[in-house]
Amino acid sequence: MNIKSLLSEIKNRRTTTIRRIVQIIAFIVINYILIEQLFVLNLISLDAFLKVLPVLNAPKNPISNGTGILEMIFYSIIEGIFPLFLIALLVLVLLFTNRFFCGWICPIGTIQDVCAAVPTNKKRLKISTHNSLLKIKYIFVVLIIILIIPLGITATTNYDFYLDYRANLGDFGKNPMGYFSLSEYIFVFFPNMIKDMIVTGSLQPLFSSFLTFIIFFFYIALIILSVWYPRVYCRYFCPFAAVSSVISEYSFLKLSRNPVRCVGRTECGICEKVCPKQIRILDEPFEFFTGNGECNFCLKCKEKCPYNAIDMKFG
């Protein structure tokens, strides 16, 4: 590829190029502690910035006690505190930015996009299978809420029950999203396991429990599947995606289709083909589309539309 064709390709993929730059910067900023250790840098100046943006914090970030905003909400409930401010912050962010965080900033989304960049023929699930799998992440969130609500109620009303119940929940009572979080797996679980393997000089940590073994291979499988099924974790398993998809349907920031320019699925359908979330865009109303809140706002559909029929609007 010569320089002229390369520049032409960059121009045609301008939105994607900008998004990739934002993703790289966000990944470094969010995981700056990891970057500090790898390159022996002092990035302590970022502390104040991250303290006021809990939505950006990665697992085990000591500034925020190792949580992102949804983890902070669940942990506050466990401690018997109703996190009104955090809930309001999450709702406002999603109402004004839609799922921009998921498509442009989330480190786990970035890792999956790197996997999807491997040159392979991307697969699409049957619509019925896809729709059924979409429910899994909502089941995870409902399960978490059902299990932690008794803790939130009894923390101030029946402390003995609270202590016993929380002890019976084990690690789930400390970090309820841990088992469902690919972020927790990549940045906490996996590094700790590797460290334990090095210390013991064996694979024994991998087989320390049946649950550890299952979690390890489940998330390894998800990462591998991301090569053929873009954003597979975001689609079907991410608790944050479940919560944000419910709210983002009502976001002020929207994508819409121009009914005059759009020629439909029969003559085109490129928007659906490039969508990493397998959203049936052309089945949605012209006024706006979200795929029931599943849209990550990556803007690939807008970028690739040959008829310039997709617009972004606010209001």
pLDDT in tens, 215-241: 888 999 999 999 999 999 999 999 999
Across the strands, what pairs with 311? 256
pLDDT, one tens digit per residue, over 65-113 is 445 788 888 888 888 888 888 899 889 999 999 999 999 988 899 999 9
User: In the structure, what pLDDT confidence band is assigned to residue 175 with cuts at 50, 70 and 90?
Assistant: confident
- Find, among 234, 244, 189, the residue nearest to 73 by Cα: 244
Q: How confident is the model over 189-224, as pLDDT tens digits?
A: 777 788 888 888 888 877 777 877 888 889 999 999
Q: What is the pTM of this model?
A: 0.84
CATH classification number, 252-315, choose in 2.40.50.140, 3.30.420.40, 3.30.70.20, 3.30.450.40: 3.30.70.20
What b/e sequence results for 38-67 when a residue is b if at least 16 CB atoms lie within 10 Å of its CB, and e otherwise? eeeeeeeebeeebeeebbbbbbbbebbebb
H helix and E strand count, the chain: 19, 2
Sole residue written with tokens 């923390």:
155
The percentage of the chain sitting over the pLDDT mark of 90, rounded to a whole number, equals 49
Can you spell out the DSSP letters for 90-103? HHHHHHHHTTHIII
**Which pLDDT belongs to residue 315?**
78
Region(s) of the chain under CATH 3.30.70.20: 252-315
Pick the range with the lowest mean pLDDT from 60-69, 178-187, 237-246, 293-302. 60-69
* Cβ proximity of 304 and 271 under 8 Å: yes
pLDDT in tens, 22-81: 999 888 777 665 555 555 455 455 554 444 444 444 444 444 444 578 888 888 888 888
Average pLDDT, rounded, for the chain: 83
Q: Look at residue 10 in the predicted model and tell me its pLDDT.
A: 55
